[in-house]
Amino acid sequence: MPDAPPPTLRLRIDTEALARNWRALDDMARSARAGAAVKANCYGLGVDICVPVLRDAGSKLFFVAHWSEVAAVARHVPPEQIVVLHGPITSEDAAYAKALGVLPVINSIAQARAWNDAGGEACHLMIDTGINRLGVSPSDLADPAIQALSVQILMSHLACADEDSPMNEAQRRMVEGCRSEVAHSQLSLANSAGVALGLDYHFDVVRPGLSLYGGVPRSELSDVIRQVAYPEAAIMQVRALSTGDQVGYNATFTADRDMRVGVVSLGYADGFLRSWAGNGFLRNDGRQLPLLGKVSMDMIVVDLTNAPELVEGDWLNVPYSLPEASKVSGLSQYELLTILGQRFHNQG
């Protein structure tokens, strides 16, 4: 079968910015060490590109959510540096962890029993301090199955770190109160936003994710974090519209003048959702090209008035500074990263 022709979507990953972001967060953590959340294919940007960069920058801990994510990360780092946040839900999960040497996060008494039954050894333990997702309750820490664990990192997860919420301090105090209840080597609470909350939240290990990849969940990080993901899309066709012509599904745009437009290879199947319509635009050499009409599955239409020389095959930049893109699209910075589709050709 012949090779496919060049793609009309590409995603440039600024690996220097990625490494710089990790180092900046590690520096902010002071005496604590920074790991790296690499779940969901490094938040959509690609394990094979991002994990080696984070490893070489200095990370020694890599957090995934699912057991299915382990193998891809293990191509680049030793298994004992991989942490599986969802823990051993079944005996098969526990056996898999034991066979590979990866470390699970224990989230319940049932998981503790499954891990102990599989032979135990090193693990991490999540305490729920108010987010009410995974994690054992503080009242469960005295259970014999929990006490039998060989806990390396005792951890919890902040619910409101991106806000100035009293819940942050309440969770921090609860973690402090739990640290004497179960033997452990290190303590961890802060995610990306938690790093910006200050030294009281850092403890021994911080677990940045979003900000590694360009996300800015708190204003304290706005001058620290650099953009990492740069999507680009090609013009497939240039069209001449006459006054009164309409564009796209439901004819939501009507031309008020004769105009030149470009049909671009980008749509909601690529993670560019319909919420971009109205305020959204693409760029070329700093010039804004407004979106016209609705976003389709595989294409959008942009106004080429500001770039009259563009033709089929020319590339346009998708504005993906995450804080700004979030304001324009109404999507969270997390969603903007993780919904990027599979048709982008990644360029590290």
Residues belonging to the active site: 39, 249
In 137-244, which ranges are E strands?
150-155, 184-188, 205-206, 229-241
Query: What whole-number distance in Å separates Cα of residue 321 and Cα of residue 222?
Result: 11
* Strand-pair category, 82-84 with 253-254: unpaired
Q: In whole angstroms, what is the distance from residue 265 CA to residue 252 CA? A: 20
- For the record, the structure tokens of 221 come out as 């990080």
Give phi and psi for 121, each to the nearest 5: 75, -165
Handedness of CA 284, 19, 328, 219 (dihedral sign): negative
Contact 87, 124 (CB under 8 A): no
3-state secondary structure at position 243: coil
The Cα 291–Cα 272 span in angstroms is: 12
Give, as one character, the DSSP assignment of residue 125.
E
Residue 245 to residue 171: CA distance in whole angstroms: 57
Give the number of other CB atoms < 10 A from CB of residue 179. 13
DSSP symbol at 170? H
Q: Which residues of 24-39 are buried (b: 16+ CB within 10 A; e: fewer)?
A: bbbebbeebbbbbbbb
Within the chain, what is the greatest distance between any pair of CA atoms? 76
